[in-house]
Amino acid sequence: MEIERKFVLRGIPEGVHLGREIIQGYLRFDPEVRLRRIKGGHKLTIKSHGTLTRDETELSIPVFLFDLLWPLTGSNVVRKTRYLLDYNDLVLEVDVYSGKHEGLITLECEFRSTEQAELFELPEWIGPAIDVTDDPRFKNKELSRSRKTPDL
């Protein structure tokens, strides 16, 4: 079970360094089936429908299978660089998008419970942010289908 909140940021927070490039493409949208390449690793992920909580299964796959399936994603692709920040007992994932969503910066955080997620407040040093957890336009699968970044 994935329990996650997502925010759009106005800028990159201080303390962000050593990002990892991620490219992910979508084979199917409901249920969500995606391929992801990050730092030489290859994953196949299946996610159920949902906003704050949803089922998630992720499997490592060999590069030959990734390469075989990748053409099926077509233009349904998201490119970003992910930066990790430790905050209390959480990891804040800051994604800086490139390509068709150049300029979009988001922050995602996964939680152990819905109660923890609902009580969470971003630290002030993150800067201005808008909670888009319940806005489906900011899900990566929707970004992969769109030609431009959604307006807030």
Q: Looking at residue 40, what is its pLDDT?
A: 83
Mean pLDDT of 51-69: 96
Q: Looking at residue 21, what is its pLDDT?
A: 97
**Residue recorded with tokens 């590069």:** 63
Q: Looking at residue 19, what is its pLDDT?
A: 94
Does 152 reside within a domain?
Answer: no
Does 93 reside within a domain?
Answer: yes
Q: What is the CA radius of gyration of the chain?
A: 15
pLDDT in tens, 73-83: 999 999 999 99
Range of the domain at 140: 2-145
Q: Looking at residue 112, what is its pLDDT?
A: 97
Are 76 and 26 spatial neighbours (Cβ–Cβ below 8 Å)? Answer: yes
- Residue 17 pLDDT class (50, 70, 90 cuts): confident
Name the domain count of the chain: 1
Express as a percent the part of the chain with pLDDT over 70: 100
Mean pLDDT of 113-132: 96
Report the CATH number that the domain containing residue 48 is assigned in CATH.
2.40.320.10
Does 151 reside within a domain?
Answer: no
Does 150 reside within a domain?
Answer: no
Does 24 reside within a domain?
Answer: yes
Q: Looking at residue 78, what is its pLDDT?
A: 97
Q: Are strands 20-29 and 77-87 parallel, antiparallel or unpaired?
A: antiparallel
Name the residue among 6, 2, 8 with its Cα closest to residue 130: 8
User: d(Cα 134, Cα 104) in Å, to the nearest integer?
Assistant: 17
